[in-house]
Amino acid sequence: MRVGVLCSTKWGTLDMVAQLTTGERQLAIVVLSLVALLGLAMAAAGRADPIGVHGFIVLAICCGLIFVVLGAYYAPEPSPERLEHYYDDPSKVGIVLTMAWAVVGMFLGVWVASLLAWPDLTFDAAWASFGRLRPAHTSAVIFGFGGNALIATSFHVLQRTSRARLPDQFSPWFVLIGYNLFCVVAATGYFMGVTQSKEYAEPEWYADIWLVVVWVTYFAIYIRTLARRKEPHIYVANWYYMAFILVVAILHIVNNLAVPVSFGHAKSYSVFSGVQDAMVQWWYGHNAVAFFLTAGFLGMMYYYLPKRAGRPIYSYRLSIISFWGITFMYMWAGSHHLLYTALPQWVQTLGMTFSLILLVPSWASAGNALATLNGAWHKVRDDATLRFMMAAAVFYGLTTFEGSFLAIRPVNSLSHYTDWTVGHVHAGALGWVALITFGSIYCIVPWLWKRERMYSARLVEVHFWLAIIGTVIYVFAMWNSGIIQGLMWRTYNENGTLTYSFVESMVAMHPYYIARAFGGLLFLMGAIVGSYNIWMTIRGEAEVAPESADLPEPRLASAPGE
């Protein structure tokens, strides 16, 4: 049959390269060569410095990719008929990368969790110390797993909701591969001890500059596709995805303003200092939660949940109100990370107040999702994929309530610096982000690869229960641990001195740390089961796709909506 269908029936790298036009293949080789040269320059300038090692890594990856492109360089030009289909190859690779990062990142998570229970698991190796493994875990799950899921699904949702094909076939690949290059440089850097010491913004200046280039391209793809849309109204999911891309760009640029020691040196110094640096960092940090881990995934929810349930979103108006509420309020909430610090009192109060008001748009979104399912509960019961999304909405509601609660100053005096924060983050990351992602992936995989269904519905069910039980064990362990910690640290005896030493509080944590590692292990096992199921679905036989289905608006002229 035709090339477009061939690609969906036989999944191979060479087929994907053959989908590129000769011009796009040439552009790919030119860009890869330039980035490879950049890697060579980093290797030469850095020498023994970690930036030199990163130079070699960049060089090796780019050379490998050049060979991939050359492998199909002389393949025939793709048929013009491809323009009558959506361009999903980058989404497909993005989904596979999402699951690969999930397994790597969650494995690292189980390792760091175990390290807290059994400190010998660091094996006396510098690279395996807690301070290096921990950012490798957070970056792998947030940026590797979450980021790839967002990129892959955003390309899919964007095309369907605007009825337009992606504007070209090269830039999506640049975004996907460039982004993963950033993730690899970040993770390998941590193992070598490279870090800016800013939470969730650990990568050093050269990785940060590279991410800006990738991110601007990503935003441009969005704008260029929307400019060619057929539907005059931009569906709400796209607003969330665009807020995610735009705000993350702003946050990333401002928080990473730094001066490197030299061009051949990995280390840099932030342009901010003292409490300003802390405020900028947590303005970034909390909005990373808001726009990376919330807005983007709400975009996912507002598309895949109604699609899977076969019902329109309960209230479209409410989704718009929550969008502007979330977008506006979150910007001011970051200072709740700095309660009881040198930050001016009124800024702390501002952060606390906005964190409380934030509950309104957050619950509006969670409620909107659950109200959408009202009348389709039989589907939730029978279909684990939809149940993933329903549970995600529930966890989203619970976590945002907990977040507002923890931002209240006196509550924070008990919870801050304890495991309660860790539990809160994981209720959000596992319960909301990961569950909505897995639900969306189980929707999208059969659609993209033109399969009738997933390889095994039973394995989706197994994954669902492993994920739920793992999350619940994790969160309960950290609630117990965190509150005990907080209470032990503030208990005074009759002499007015602390009753418990810090070490005593650590001994009290031990059983909870074992429980947490076990909960994480269950969650990791679920991700492995899911990866296997997805892989078997991809390898299975395609159904015969009806010719007319799943087509973009055929015109190519750049006419905006109406």
Partner 1 sequence: MNFDHDTVVGFTKSWGLFYLIAMAVGVLIYVFWPSNLERFHAAKKNILDEDDKPWK
Binding site for partner 1 (CB under 8 A): 160-161, 163, 230-233, 235-236, 303, 306-307, 310-313, 316-317, 320-321, 324, 328, 344, 346, 350, 548-554
| Closer Cβ to partner 1, 101 or 302, answer by number | 302
Q: How far is the CB of 321 from partner 1 (least distance, A)?
A: 6
Q: How far is the CB of 332 from partner 1 (least distance, A)?
A: 9
DSSP state of 258: E
Assign residue 92 a region (left: φ > 0; alpha: ψ between -120 and 50; beta: otherwise): alpha
Q: What count of other Cβ atoms lies within 10 Å of the Cβ of residue 240? A: 29
| Closer Cβ to partner 1, 163 or 224, answer by number | 163
Collapsing DSSP states into helix, strand and coil, what is residue 164? coil
| Closer Cβ to partner 1, 234 or 398, answer by number | 234
Q: How far is the CB of 243 from partner 1 (least distance, A)?
A: 14
Q: What is the DSSP string of 121-159?
A: GGTT-GGGSHHHHHHHHHHIIIIIIIIHHHHHHHHHHHH
| Closer Cβ to partner 1, 410 or 546, answer by number | 546
Q: How far from chain centre, in Å, is Cα 293?
A: 6
Q: How far is the CB of 89 from partner 1 (least distance, A)?
A: 18
Q: How far is the CB of 161 from partner 1 (least distance, A)?
A: 6
Q: How far is the CB of 303 from partner 1 (least distance, A)?
A: 7
- Tokens encoding 40: 């060579």
Distances (CA, A) of 144 to 151, 170, 249: 11, 21, 17
| Closer Cβ to partner 1, 298 or 522, answer by number | 298
Closest CA to 561 of 234, 239, 238, 232: 232
Rounded CA separation 324/337 (Å): 23
Q: How far is the CB of 394 from partner 1 (least distance, A)?
A: 22
Distances (CA, A) of 499 to 491, 492, 546: 6, 5, 72
Rounded CA separation 266/12 (Å): 37
Q: How far is the CB of 151 from partner 1 (least distance, A)?
A: 20
| Closer Cβ to partner 1, 323 or 438, answer by number | 323
| Closer Cβ to partner 1, 327 or 531, answer by number | 327
| Closer Cβ to partner 1, 320 or 507, answer by number | 320
Q: How far is the CB of 460 from partner 1 (least distance, A)?
A: 22
Rounded CA separation 513/557 (Å): 58
| Closer Cβ to partner 1, 79 or 262, answer by number | 79
Rounded CA separation 44/498 (Å): 55
| Closer Cβ to partner 1, 53 or 243, answer by number | 243
197 contacts 265 by C-beta, under 8 angstroms:
no
Name the strand (E) or helix (H) holding 259.
Answer: strand 258-260
Q: Where are the beta strands (DSSP E) in 9-53?
A: none
Q: How far apart are the first and last CA of the chain?
A: 36
Q: How far from chain centre, in Å, is Cα 121?
A: 28
DSSP bridge pairs for 269:
259
- Tokens encoding 58: 């960049």
Rounded CA separation 311/302 (Å): 11
Assign residue 203 a region (left: φ > 0; alpha: ψ between -120 and 50; beta: otherwise): beta
DSSP state of 524: H
Q: How far is the CB of 210 from partner 1 (least distance, A)?
A: 34
Q: What is the DSSP string of 301-318?
A: HHHHHHHHHTS--S-HHH
Q: How far is the CB of 279 from partner 1 (least distance, A)?
A: 13
| Closer Cβ to partner 1, 503 or 549, answer by number | 549
Q: How far is the CB of 156 from partner 1 (least distance, A)?
A: 12
Give φ, ψ of 336 to 5 degrees: -70, -10
Rounded CA separation 2/73 (Å): 19
Alpha-helical (H) ranges within 288-358 are 296-309, 316-330, 345-357
| Closer Cβ to partner 1, 160 or 224, answer by number | 160
| Closer Cβ to partner 1, 160 or 409, answer by number | 160
Q: How far is the CB of 450 from partner 1 (least distance, A)?
A: 13
Closest CA to 180 of 90, 310, 72, 78: 90
Closest CA to 390 of 306, 494, 506: 306
| Closer Cβ to partner 1, 292 or 332, answer by number | 332
Q: How far is the CB of 21 from partner 1 (least distance, A)?
A: 22
